[in-house]
Amino acid sequence: MKSKVKKPKFRVRITLFKKYLVFGLFIVLISYVALSITMYAFVNNYWEDEKKESLIENTSQVASVIEASSEYSSERRAITVNNPELFTVTITTIAKSIDADIFVVDNKGVCKYCSEQANCIHNQSDIPSSVLAATAKGEFFERGTLDDFYGESYYTAGVPVIVNDRGTNVIVAFCYASTKAHFVTVLSLTFMKIFITAAFATLILVLVFVFLMSYSMVRPLRQMSNAAKKFAVGDFSTRVKVSSDDEIGELATAFNYMADSLSASESMRRSFIANVSHELKTPMTTIAGFIDGILDGTIPQNQQNHYMRIVSNEVKRLSRLVTSMLSLSRIDNGELKVSRQHFEIFSTVITILLTFEQKIVDRKIDIKGLESLEGIKVYADPDLMYQVIYNLIENAVKFTDEGGYILFNAVETRYDLSISIENSGPGIGPEDIRFVFDRFYKTDKSRSMDKKGMGLGLFLTKSIMQLHGGDIFVESEVNKYCRFTFRLPKTVSTPKQTKKYIDTTAKTKTEE
């Protein structure tokens, strides 16, 4: 039963633009809140330090004036300012310069002098004893209601007024300066305005930036999505434009590489189907025609042996095709195992040459260099190496020009053995040489010279050499020669993975 692939629903629920926008706004919001809180804390602390320093400094100056221009009564434990009017004017002037209220209270918290004179809260109630006790320790500063003395927040600074009574320092009064802490409220509103203005401007910038960034990222992704949908229906022509060197650009490059591979595979598949159809149709038609001719008496009995030999050759051709396909399947599935043993390569070459003896004689091909193979032993799978050498000699015999030559040569080193099989003839063009080891690839598209080939022999040869830990490459000069060289290591190594394209070297000079 044919399995059916369920088509997915292509629907984007949350776009990248929305994700990046939400993420960007979240980062901006957190950044501005953190920045505002930090700036508010620093500015507020700086303002309080400045206020504290200013108020303490001025209250200390007023206290010094009182100490210098007053008389102290030990019996009453109180002081009397010599010139109250002048003193009031003095503290009023100082108060205006620092935008604060300055007042002096006795040890019980009762206001004696105030820059606001009668119209002042300080003349209406006493300063709390807790505030007096804190001030008596030296300097006092607070932002608050002064133990509920004020109805709202004030900056208040105070210092004690100290006189010397018979060699003893005595606190006779307290001098305070206070001003509303309205800066905190104003600062909060200012920071709120700054935050809203900056956040709005940043929002516009974030929208533009996220749009441009997401658009640049989403565009190739959408192109890939559309291309993938086309791939699903067999259209591999679409490519993604690579416009960056980041991960998206790397993904686009990999996607295009995949598209090229799929396109090449599809082209190879179609070529394979066409080749298989042709290769199967021709011998089967021949076999069926000759068998029918023999059965119905069309072919005379004295000619039947001749046509039966033709049928036998065609059956063998089909058998080789099936064997090659099975070998390909075993290689792809990793089922083909190498059974190594020591054997002489010379005897294998001679055996294969005898197989093509008639063709060699008919085409007057000169065999050279066999003496270089004498006495050479290899450590490999004899059956697989037979197939390698058979494919190479078969190609050499097939493409050697009449009266040409086939040259064998062996080069043995400490680490490996290289055997080359060279033949004269048309050679392989530079446009074909890098593909000769691809499966189903045939250099002679017309099949005029390679009409019995399927383009599998060299691919199998390459795969077998890699299973042995060796390699094979080709050199060719058009209209002169073609040389295949395979290398076998003397020690067993891990087989290489099959690559799509084989490293080859080519001389591309063409005879004029």
pLDDT of amino acid 62? 87
Q: Using the predicted structure, report yes or no on whether residue 64 has a pLDDT greater than 80.
A: yes
Closest by alpha carbon to 161, among 91, 252, 251? 91
Please give the residue that has the higher pLDDT: either 307 or 423.
Answer: 423
**Residue 37 CB-density burial (10 A; 0-12 exposed, 13-18 middle, 19+ buried):** exposed
Count other C-beta atoms under 10 Å from residue 392's C-beta: 24
Q: Using the predicted structure, report yes or no on whether residue 499 has a pLDDT greater than 60.
A: no
Q: Using the predicted structure, report yes or no on whether residue 137 has a pLDDT greater than 50.
A: yes
Strand partners, 78: 73
Please give the residue that has the higher pLDDT: either 166 or 348.
Answer: 348
Residues with Cβ within 8 Å of 124's Cβ and at least 6 positions away in sequence, in order, are none
**What is the spatial distance between Cα 324 and Cα 160, in angstroms, rounded to a whole number?**
111
Count other C-beta atoms under 10 Å from residue 275's C-beta: 19
Mean pLDDT score across all residues of the chain: 80
Q: Give 295's Cβ-side CA count (13 Å radius).
A: 6
DSSP letter assigned to residue 30: H
**What is the spatial distance between Cα 462 and Cα 411, in angstroms, rounded to a whole number?**
19
Question: Once rounded to an integer, what is the mean pLDDT over residues 301-330?
Answer: 78
pLDDT of amino acid 405? 96
Q: Give 218's Cβ-side CA count (13 Å radius).
A: 14
Q: Using the predicted structure, report yes or no on whether residue 232 has a pLDDT greater than 90.
A: no
Please give the residue that has the higher pLDDT: either 118 or 437.
Answer: 437
**What is the spatial distance between Cα 118 and Cα 124, in angstroms, rounded to a whole number?**
9
Q: Using the predicted structure, report yes or no on whether residue 243 has a pLDDT greater than 80.
A: no
Q: Using the predicted structure, report yes or no on whether residue 502 has a pLDDT greater than 50.
A: no
Residues with Cβ within 8 Å of 447's Cβ and at least 6 positions away in sequence, in order, are 278, 453
Q: Dump the DSSP string for 97-122.
A: HHTSEEEEE-TTS-EEEETTTTS-GG
Cα torsion through 286, 292, 293, 296, rounded to 10: 180
Question: Once rounded to an integer, what is the mean pLDDT over residues 494-504?
Answer: 41
Question: Once rounded to an integer, what is the mean pLDDT over residues 143-168?
Answer: 85
What are the backbone angles phi and psi of residue 403, rounded to the nearest 5°?
80, 10
Binning pLDDT at 50, 70 and 90, where does residue 183 land? low
Handedness of CA 370, 375, 376, 379 (dihedral sign): positive
pLDDT of amino acid 369? 94
pLDDT of amino acid 490? 84
> What value, to the nearest 5°, has the Cα angle with vertex 354 and ends 353 and 360?
65
**What is the spatial distance between Cα 392 and Cα 399, in angstroms, rounded to a whole number?**
11
Binning pLDDT at 50, 70 and 90, where does residue 508 land? very low
Question: Once rounded to an integer, what is the mean pLDDT over residues 85-103?
Answer: 85
- 504 contacts 436 by C-beta, under 8 angstroms: yes
Across 3-121, where does the E strand assignment appear?
70-73, 78-81, 101-105, 111-114
Counting DSSP H helices and E strands in the chain, the numbers are: 10, 14
Would you mind telling me the total number of residues written for the chain in this entry? 512
pLDDT tens, residue by residue, 189-223: 777 777 778 777 877 887 788 777 777 777 787 88
**What is the spatial distance between Cα 366 and Cα 160, in angstroms, rounded to a whole number?**
127
pLDDT of amino acid 347? 92
Q: Using the predicted structure, report yes or no on whether residue 481 has a pLDDT greater than 90.
A: yes
pLDDT of amino acid 447? 38
CATH number of this structure's domain 21-186 = 3.30.450.20
pLDDT of amino acid 373? 93
For domain 247-331, give the fold: Helix Hairpins (1.10.287)
Closest by alpha carbon to 254, among 229, 227, 234? 227
pLDDT of amino acid 424? 95
Q: Dump the DSSP string for 221-241.
A: HHHHHHHHHHHHTT-------
Domain spans, the chain: 21-186, 247-331, 337-489
Please give the residue that has the higher pLDDT: either 183 or 397.
Answer: 397
pLDDT tens, residue by residue, 343-366: 999 999 999 999 889 899 999 999
Q: Using the predicted structure, report yes or no on whether residue 400 has a pLDDT greater than 90.
A: yes
pLDDT of amino acid 9? 56
**Which range, 98-107, 111-120, 268-277, has the best average confidence (pLDDT)?**
98-107
pLDDT of amino acid 500? 39
Structure tokens at 465: 């050499």
Structure tokens at 144: 């608050």
Strand partners, 379: 342
pLDDT of amino acid 371? 94
Long-range contacts of 478-481 (CB under 8 A, 24+ apart): 478/426, 478/427, 478/428, 478/429, 478/430, 478/508, 478/509, 478/510, 478/511, 479/426, 479/427, 479/510, 479/511, 480/424, 480/427, 480/511, 481/422, 481/423, 481/424, 481/425, 481/427
Lowest-confidence range among 34-43, 105-114, 493-502? 493-502
* Secondary structure (3-state) at 395: helix
Strand partners, 97: none
Q: Crossing angle for the helix pair 247-295 and 182-232, nearest 10 degrees? A: 10
**What is the spatial distance between Cα 495 and Cα 493, in angstroms, rounded to a whole number?**
6
pLDDT tens, residue by residue, 1-53: 444 555 555 555 667 777 777 787 788 778 877 877 787 778 778 878 888 88
Question: Once rounded to an integer, what is the mean pLDDT over residues 233-260?
Answer: 81
The owner of tokens 């776009």 is: 15
Closest by alpha carbon to 325, among 456, 465, 458, 441? 456
Please give the residue that has the higher pLDDT: either 508 or 316.
Answer: 316
Please give the residue that has the higher pLDDT: either 1 or 444.
Answer: 444
pLDDT of amino acid 70? 79
Q: State the pTM of this model.
A: 0.44
Q: Using the predicted structure, report yes or no on whether residue 163 has a pLDDT greater than 50.
A: yes
pLDDT of amino acid 512? 28
- Please tell me the CATH superfamily of domain 337-489, with its number: Histidine kinase-like ATPase, C-terminal domain (3.30.565.10)
pLDDT of amino acid 348? 92
* Secondary structure (3-state) at 13: coil
Q: Using the predicted structure, report yes or no on whether residue 407 has a pLDDT greater than 80.
A: yes
Q: Using the predicted structure, report yes or no on whether residue 501 has a pLDDT greater than 50.
A: no
